[in-house]
């Protein structure tokens, strides 16, 4: 007799859907199959049973230039949970003079006890760390502390690593057995182009895209891939938005570079012309910027055929008033999206025929868990954590801030009607969302020590 069984649903496996029941014991999956008996029985008839989503790229209560991103660890993870995501990976960002260890402790202090779902932290290697072999000596300790992945930037002051710092950092991460996750844009040139545009008096949001041309996203990936090749460091490219970027990733893969890439729902569903160029353009400013419909086609194809490996949200919300700046150059970058990822991908990906059900789960849960080093997450198999989503593929819902649990007073997906929404969500065996209602408690989630050692 297992603690709990989830019966009557279709489990979405890597090989497609099967009719089978799921048994949980304690916080884990105990069995999958027929003839399983549970103390408690949850009916999943008519629904998909899928692993809890893993969102490897979110920014909750991010301090940035005097502001703090709109969602706290509490509100953001409740939104994640309601959207079917049971694990997130956020960031610890060492400040100047701060050690990685202190940054990790400080960030954990913000999250522990607050989070509704499990979480991990990427350790950022900012400029002053990347420039110093001594400060990189902390890398192995961070791996030991469960930060298996290191966030590097090729753009943004205070964060930006030049090629040497990139090489030095990647070499250190590779040696320690970690993985790099990378913001890949040619930062210095973008700053220069933006400064030129500002000097020329341009303020409209569309200039955000015009001063961040796709070729400078692609060139940065090209450089990063070469350095990954030279150092033997696995590198994951964050938020790929353009066809040129996909080409660089695919080409590097075929040369044997250990490179992977992700895209995000906003790149798949919004365009520069319509959204940055529209009346509320500032809202849609994020980096890299939104691109074109042609880029979207390339992204969908890459998601289907393995050119890209997973979907994250890069959830980084700001309020309408924070976004309301005179010039595009002053707008805090980022859009919300932590809650709607699974449903958007199901509706616009699966229902529209771009990807299969199995690939949907792979992109939203299995692949991010594997690549980010979460060995008990991302798939429904015995021994894995009991993170389960009962997803109703027939539930129709129009996305709106009225029903979302995200804290921002807007969402880029407002008004989109999707078919398919999470009904019930379990975190390590415990129901935290029941019939679309959040019933969990602060601190249900835990910090997960991650490890990306290959099997």
- Residues lying near its own copies in the complex (CB under 8 A) are found at 2, 13-20, 23, 25, 29-36, 162-164, 167-168, 186, 188-189, 191-193, 213, 215-216, 219, 222-223, 226-227, 229-230, 250, 253-254, 256, 301, 305-307, 356-358, 366, 370, 378-379, 381-384, 454-455
For residue 261, the number of C-alpha atoms closer than 13 Å in the C-beta half-sphere is: 33
Annotate 346-407 with DSSP letters as a single string.
IIIIIITTSS-HHHHHIIIIIHHHHHHT-TTSSS--TTSB--EEEEEEEEEEE--TTT---S
Tokens of 451: 């490890």
Sheet of 16-19, strand order: 16-19, 10-13, 48-51, 388-398, 417-427, 430-434, 437-438
* Closer residue to its own copies, CB minimum distance, 267 or 300: 300
Counting DSSP H helices and E strands in the chain, the numbers are 16, 21
Q: How far apart are CB 62 and its own copies at their closest, in Å?
A: 27
- The least CB distance from residue 15 to its own copies, in Å, is 5
Nearer to its own copies, 112 or 226 (CB): 226
Question: Per DSSP, what are the bridge partners of residue 29?
Answer: 24
Least Cβ distance, residue 217 to its own copies (angstroms): 11
- Nearest-5° angle of CA 368, CA 51, CA 264? 40
Residue 163: CB minimum distance to its own copies, A: 5
User: Do 360 and 84 form a contact (C-beta atoms < 8 A)?
Assistant: no
- Element (DSSP H or E) covering residue 30: strand 28-33
- Which residue's CB is nearer to its own copies, number 202 or number 301? 301
CB of 190 to its own copies, least distance (A): 10
Q: CB of residue 230 vs its own copies: minimum separation in angstroms?
A: 7
SS3 342: helix
Q: How far is the CB of 227 from its own copies (least distance, A)?
A: 7
CA pair distance 347, 339, nearest whole angstrom:
14
**C-alpha to C-alpha distance for 129 and 260, rounded to whole angstroms:** 24
* Rounded CA separation 449/386 (Å): 17
> Alpha helices, DSSP H only, in 137-270?
139-144, 163-176, 187-199, 206-210, 214-231, 243-254, 265-269
Nearest distance from C-beta of residue 54 to its own copies, angstroms:
12
By beta-carbon proximity to its own copies, the closer residue of 43 and 437 is 43
Nearer to its own copies, 221 or 283 (CB): 221
Kindly compute the dihedral angle of the four CA atoms of residues 238, 239, 243, 249, in this order, to the nearest 10 degrees: 10
Q: How far apart are CA 210 and CA 191, in angstroms?
A: 12
Residues in Cβ contact with 25 at an 8 Å cutoff, skipping those fewer than 6 apart? 2, 3, 429
DSSP string, 40-67: EEEE-TTSEEEEPEEE--B-SS-EETTE
Smallest distance from the beta carbon of 289 to its own copies, in angstroms? 16
**CA–centroid distance for 13 within its chain:** 21
User: H or E segment at 434?
Assistant: strand 430-434
Residue 25: CB minimum distance to its own copies, A: 7
The least distance separating its own copies from the CB of residue 364, rounded to whole angstroms, comes to 14
Q: Which is nearer to its own copies, 178 or 213 (CB)?
A: 213
In terms of CB distance, is 224 or 331 closer to its own copies? 224
């Amino acid at each position: 007799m297992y603690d709990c069984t989830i019966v009557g649903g279709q489990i979405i496996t890597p090989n497609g859907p099967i009719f089978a029941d799921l048994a949980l014991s304690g916080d884990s999956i105990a069995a999958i199959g027929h003839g399983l008996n549970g103390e408690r029985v949850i009916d999943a008839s008519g629904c998909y049973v899928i692993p809890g989503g893993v969102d490897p790229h979110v920014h909750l209560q991010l301090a940035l230039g005097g502001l703090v991103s709109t969602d706290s660890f509490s509100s953001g993870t409740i939104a994640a949970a309601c959207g079917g995501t049971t694990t997130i990976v956020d960031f610890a960002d060492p400040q100047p003079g701060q050690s990685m260890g202190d940054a990790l402790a400080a960030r954990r202090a913000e999250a522990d006890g607050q989070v509704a779902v499990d979480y991990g932290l990427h350790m950022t290697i900012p400029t002053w760390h990347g420039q110093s072999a001594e400060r990189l000596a902390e890398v192995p300790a961070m791996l030991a502390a469960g930060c298996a992945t290191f966030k590097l930037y090729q753009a943004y002051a205070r964060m930006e690593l030049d090629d040497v710092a990139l090489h030095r950092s990647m070499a250190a991460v590779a040696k320690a057995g970690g993985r790099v996750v990378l913001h890949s844009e040619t930062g210095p040139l973008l700053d220069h182009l933006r400064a030129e545009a500002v000097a020329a008096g341009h303020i409209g949001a569309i200039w955000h895209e015009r001063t961040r041309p796709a070729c400078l996203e692609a060139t940065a990936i090209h450089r990063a891939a070469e350095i990954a090749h030279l150092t033997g460091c696995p590198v994951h490219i964050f938020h790929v938005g353009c066809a040129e970027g996909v080409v660089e990733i695919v080409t590097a893969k075929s040369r044997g570079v250990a490179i992977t890439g992700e895209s995000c729902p906003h790149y798949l569903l919004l365009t520069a012309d319509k959204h940055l160029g529209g009346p509320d353009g500032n809202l849609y400013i994020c980096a890299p910027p939104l691109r074109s419909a042609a880029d979207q086609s390339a992204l969908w194809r890459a998601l289907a055929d393995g050119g890209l490996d997973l979907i994250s949200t890069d959830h980084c919300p700001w309020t309408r008033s924070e976004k309301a700046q005179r010039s595009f150059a002053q707008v805090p970058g980022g859009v919300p999206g932590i809650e709607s990822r699974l449903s958007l991908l199901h509706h616009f990906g699966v229902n529209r025929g771009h990807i299969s059900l199995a690939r949907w789960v792979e992109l939203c849960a299995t692949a991010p868990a594997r690549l980010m080093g979460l060995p008990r997450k991302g798939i429904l198999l015995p021994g894995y954590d009991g993170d389960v989503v009962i997803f109703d593929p027939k539930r129709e819902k129009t996305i709106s801030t009225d029903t979302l649990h995200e804290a921002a007073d807007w969402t880029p997906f407002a008004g989109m009607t999707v078919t398919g929404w999470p009904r019930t969500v379990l975190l390590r065996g415990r129901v935290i969302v029941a019939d679309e209602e959040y019933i969990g408690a602060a601190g249900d989630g835990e910090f997960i020590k991650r490890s990306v050692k290959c099997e």
